[in-house]
Structure 1
Amino acid sequence: MKIAFVGKGGSGKTTLSSLFIRHLTANEAPVLAVDADINQHLGAALGLEDQASAALPAMGAHLPLIKDYLRGTNPRITSAETMIKTTPPGEGSRLLRVCEDNPVYDACARPVSLDDGEIKLMATGPFTEADLGVACYHSKVGAVELCLNHLVDGPEEFVVIDMTAGSDSFASGMFTRFDLTFLVAEPTRKGVSVYRQYKEYARDFGVGLKVVGNKVRDADDLEFLRTEIGEDLLVTLGHSDWVRAMEKGRPPRFELLEAGNRLALQALQDAAEDSYADRDWERYTRQMVHFHLRNAESWGNEKTGADLAAQVDPTFVLGERYAEAASAS
């Protein structure tokens, strides 16, 4: 299942992402993690040293390889150069699985060892000096969106994305690529305003959204979140000595995380598993095509010099059947 963590800057979004990844690994779930934030801190939150975190390959730098691999033998895509971030798969496309070896993972993913197992970590790459004044960060996350469009995940597998802060993820159709989005909100007016904005934008797309209240200090904080957010408030977390030690680079073993916080993380996993049970592959594919056609008309056709609407395979529905066929070929 595909899970996103969003929230305003400083809400603890990356910290919660890393805790959830550690929790899943402790429960022996396969995890593919992606740092898609402009501030690349997920690696550090998962225990990587600064040098190792900075050395993670940037997915954007490998975009030609990603396109060429995913294109496969799809006859509707005339060249890898005509693929854009929203290009949907069709007959002949190569699909990604969480638990497999492939050239995309070889180039872009690195193993990260945690207390209870190992995960794969990918990163969009930081905003560099060369990008200043000539590029937006959404061009970086295009590689992530393209991979998500071609990824078939199972009910016991997790893809966890640490997204850009605030409502920036609505600059592309990637916000519809998830079974469930966890919005991390502090008990403040700003924290709640990001939730309201996200809910408003996502309303017409059937996006599953739950709020994780963070930095909740007392009953007044809890009542504030309950009043402002209502039934979308799933769990809350307060101060954690374990997290404070982690942020200093000296985390205890994960099994020593406070019991209340472990229960909150299990509630997140339960909600994620419930959301996957409701996945509609046809709607998932339909939304993918919707945003591809919008991007094609807006800028893609002009940029590539091709009619990108012709890339849509009208009979294709992403799902397990096509993944199995692609693996066998």
Structure 2
Amino acid sequence: MRIAITGKGGVGKTTLAGMLARAFAAEGRRVLAIDADPDANLASALGVPAEAGARLTPISKMKELARERTGAGEGEGSLFRLNPTVSDLPERYGVEHEGVRLLQMGTVEQGGSGCVCPEHTLVKRLMKHLLLERDDVVIMDMEAGIEHLGRGTAESVDALVIVVEPGQRSMQTARQITALAGDIGIGNVFLVGSKIRDDADCRFISAAMPPASLLGFISLSDEIRAADRDGASPFDCDGKARSEALAIKDALTVEIGGRGSCRSASPR
């Protein structure tokens, strides 16, 4: 099962990504969490201890590794392999916590005309490997968009989950992402309402998007704020946030299974 999570900045997508990853791991699934947001915070949302999180280095920043795997020489214009070996990278450069292996992708800084450089090639090949060739449950925390997904890998994503808060700007972003997802072939697009205060917030989100696409809601709570402050995962608090995340995980599993696009993950 491959799940990409996105939404407007600040809506709580990383919180949801962390709790979903922990929820799948708690039922015995083998889970790979990919932090594909340049503002990488998924380690904290998973509850990864600070000292372990400090060992993470974004794959996109590993210039020597990129040159080694692609066979690139020094200087611009050198030839290099476009299909480097990457299958060992999650185990070598990820960290594991509570059954979830976390890998940071990072972004490749490019000039105005773009580039096809060793780092970009390595990241692109690794994304293809993670989404097409592994049997894990893959939870990908993305930036506000789907730039990490191209037409070659989009078809392997079982679900795109857009996290929204009760506001017009957040819903506008959700509509834009939904349209773009359709353009590149992502068929299963769902919504999760976040930072919910009351029934009026639920009604606003339900009215703004098709009800069939709504998986559930995450309440605005002191529990989540306290976990963020402490660098912990709300999933460990065993409170309302955990229950809401488990309900969303169950709804997502049913939706994907019912649409016939879910590939089962291997047990640990």
Q: Give the TM interval when normalised to the shorter protein.
A: 0.7 to 0.9
Question: What TM-score does the superposition give when structure 2 sets the normalisation length?
Answer: 0.76
Q: Following TM superposition, by how much is the alpha carbon of 1:55 offset from its aligned partner in structure 2, in angstroms? A: 2.8
Greater share of helix: 1
Q: Matched residues in 2 for 1:135 and 1:118: separation? A: 41
Q: 1:2·1:179 contact (CA, 8 Å) conserved in 2?
A: yes
Counterpart in the other structure of 2:80: 81
Q: Following TM superposition, by how much is the alpha carbon of 1:36 offset from its aligned partner in structure 2, in angstroms? A: 0.5
Query: Does the C-alpha gap of structure 1 residues 186 and 263 become closer, same or farther in structure 2, counting only changes over 3 Å?
Result: closer
Describe how 1:156-195 pairs up with structure 2 within 5 A: 157-165=136-144, 167-169=145-147, 172-173=150-151, 174-195=153-174
| Letter in structure 1 aligned against 2:202 | L
Find out whether 1:198 has 2:177 as its counterpart.
Answer: yes
Greater share of strand: 2
The one-character-per-residue Cα deviations of 1:150-196 (angstroms, maximum 9, x if unpaired) are: 34344xx311111112x252774454441111110001001101111
Q: Matched residues in 1 for 2:111 and 2:57: separation? A: 23
Q: Following TM superposition, by how much is the alpha carbon of 1:29 offset from its aligned partner in structure 2, in angstroms? A: 1.2
Q: Matched residues in 2 for 1:253 and 1:203: separation? A: 32
Counterpart in the other structure of 2:204: 224
Counterpart in the other structure of 2:247: 266
Query: Does the C-alpha gap of structure 1 residues 201 and 138 become closer, same or farther in structure 2, counting only changes over 3 Å?
Result: farther
| Letter in structure 2 aligned against 1:37 | D
Counterpart in the other structure of 2:126: 147
Q: Following TM superposition, by how much is the alpha carbon of 1:41 offset from its aligned partner in structure 2, in angstroms? A: 0.7
More displaced stretch, 118-127 vs 8-17: 118-127
RMSD over aligned CA atoms reads 3.5
Q: Following TM superposition, by how much is the alpha carbon of 1:256 offset from its aligned partner in structure 2, in angstroms? A: 3.8
| Letter in structure 1 aligned against 2:164 | A
Query: Does the C-alpha gap of structure 1 residues 82 and 251 become closer, same or farther in structure 2, counting only changes over 3 Å?
Result: closer
Q: Matched residues in 2 for 1:271 and 1:17: separation? A: 13
Q: Following TM superposition, by how much is the alpha carbon of 1:82 offset from its aligned partner in structure 2, in angstroms? A: 3.5
Counterpart in the other structure of 2:75: none
Q: 1:31·1:120 contact (CA, 8 Å) conserved in 2?
A: yes
Counterpart in the other structure of 2:190: 210
How high is the sequence identity, in percent, across the aligned residues?
25
Find out whether 1:121 has 2:102 as its counterpart.
Answer: yes
Q: Which has the larger radius of gyration?
A: 1
Counterpart in the other structure of 1:299: none
Q: 2:234·2:241 contact (CA, 8 Å) conserved in 1?
A: no
What stretches of structure 2 of length at least 5 have no aligned partner? 72-78, 264-268
Query: Does the C-alpha gap of structure 1 residues 269 and 81 become closer, same or farther in structure 2, counting only changes over 3 Å?
Result: farther
SS for the counterpart of 2:180 is helix
Q: Matched residues in 1 for 2:99 and 2:147: separation? A: 28
Query: Does the C-alpha gap of structure 1 residues 220 and 273 become closer, same or farther in structure 2, counting only changes over 3 Å?
Result: closer
Q: Matched residues in 1 for 2:113 and 2:24: separation? A: 35
Q: 1:179·1:272 contact (CA, 8 Å) conserved in 2?
A: no
Q: Following TM superposition, by how much is the alpha carbon of 1:262 offset from its aligned partner in structure 2, in angstroms? A: 1.6
The one-character-per-residue Cα deviations of 1:107-157 (angstroms, maximum 9, x if unpaired) are: 32222x2xxx33211102377xxx596797998776444223234344xx3
| Letter in structure 1 aligned against 2:90 | Y
The one-character-per-residue Cα deviations of 1:277-316 (angstroms, maximum 9, x if unpaired) are: 62399xxxxxxxxxxxxxxxxxxxxxxxxxxxxxxxxxxx
| Letter in structure 2 aligned against 1:278 | G
Find out whether 1:279 has 2:261 as its counterpart.
Answer: yes
Q: Matched residues in 2 for 1:45 and 1:95: separation? A: 26
| Letter in structure 2 aligned against 1:81 | F
SS for the counterpart of 2:5 is strand
